[in-house]
Amino acid sequence: MSCIRIGLVGIGKIARDQHLPVIAANPDYRLAAVASRQGHVDGVPTFPNLTALLAGAGDVDAISLCTPPQARHALARQALEAGKHVMLEKPPGATLTEVYDLIDLARAKGLALLATWHSRYAPAVEPARSWLLGKKLLRVHVCWKEDVRHWHPGQEWIWAPGGLGVFDPGINALSIITHLLPNALIVDKATLEVPANRQAPIAATLEMHDHQGLAVTAEFDWRQTGPQTWDIIIETDQGTLTLSRGGAVMSIDGVAQIEQKEQEYTHLYALFARLVAERRVDADLAPLRIVADAYMLGRWVRVEDFVE
């Protein structure tokens, strides 16, 4: 397979922390252009927007979108219409319909489309999935709590409609459990705590089940200070599995089994290269469906103003 000439749209924190170093380290890719209103990458042609990038660097093979989700559908559709393969940061869109539209378009044009769920590639997730095989699942609980001031300082888009609020990190946990558990999850109840001066939740609790009666609960909170909590606890008839640190650590009955450095985006870009070669779509929307169901069924509770 020839080197994939890729354009990166949106040069913010996630692009600099993850996408740029992984692209640079992968011989399957060459960073051919970037588009950003403010950011730039030394030595790489920089354009103010995707339209300018496609006009000035039209020989790119693929576009990786690192913009906020509210703008992602229009950009992805523009790239696909121009014949470019597309990688979508998570969440893949602001609504389900947006992403279904992109799936249909990519398939119609024979182009690759990847809706990324980076947390599924945390080092302990696949070992956890293997350990759970053949065991009876009794209960599942997700506790995902972090400090929004640390992880998203000044990012107003995340509080706007389509920004998902606390579900922006919470969807990482949902992407893991929908990968680990054998059946679809149905949302029974949800409570969404929304600051009076914001339009998206700062905290949420969910109660879910599958068709076999497995109870799954989740609590997400953006007000945690001190140590951050990213845990998934799965009780089985043969012991309790705990994934902690976002899936980097797996413990059985409190004894650590796996603890490794994450390489989530390395795996994502390797997958995208395969999809480009095969011109395939990989877009599992199960995590985003749970968020949509929580928004539809949820009880909205106004809480005190959030101040940075």
Instruction: Classify residue 72: in a domain, yes or no.
Output: yes
Q: Given the residues 90, 136, 145, 189, select the one marked as catalytic.
A: 90
pLDDT tens, the chain, 308 aa long: 589 999 999 999 899 999 999 999 999 999 999 999 888 899 999 999 999 999 999 899 999 999 999 999 999 999 999 999 999 999 999 999 999 999 999 999 999 999 999 999 999 999 999 999 999 999 999 999 999 999 999 899 999 999 999 999 999 999 999 999 999 999 999 999 999 999 999 999 999 999 999 999 999 999 999 999 999 999 999 999 999 999 999 999 999 998 888 899 999 999 999 999 999 999 999 999 999 999 999 999 999 999 98
Which residue, among 182, 305, 172, has the nearest Cα to 247 in the 3D structure? 172
Do residues 125 and 249 both lie within one domain?
yes
Quickly list DSSP for 35-68.
Answer: E-SS---TTS-EESSHHHHHHHSTT--EEEE-S-
Range of the domain at 172: 119-262+292-303
135 has catalytic annotation: no
**Residue 253 belongs to domain with CATH number:** 3.30.360.10
The answer on 104 and 35 residing in a single domain is yes
Task: Give the burial class of 42: count Cβ atoms within 10 A of its Cβ; 0-12 exposed, 13-18 middle, 19 or more buried.
Answer: exposed
Q: Give domain status of residue 223, yes or no.
A: yes
Per the domain annotation, does 269 fall within a domain? no
pTM, rounded to two decimals: 0.96
Edge-to-edge strand ranges of the sheet holding 255-259 = 255-259, 249-252, 239-244, 229-236, 137-145, 215-221, 203-209, 186-195, 299-303
- Cβ atoms of 112 and 279 within 8 Å: the answer is yes
Determine the Cα–Cα distance for residues 276 and 265; give it in Å rounded to an integer.
16
Whether the CB-CB separation of 217 and 206 falls below 8 Å is answered with yes
Whether 111 and 130 map to the same domain: the answer is: no
* Nearest Cα to Cα of residue 44 among 89, 8, 71: 8
Q: Which of 78, 98, 115 is the last residue of a domain?
A: 115
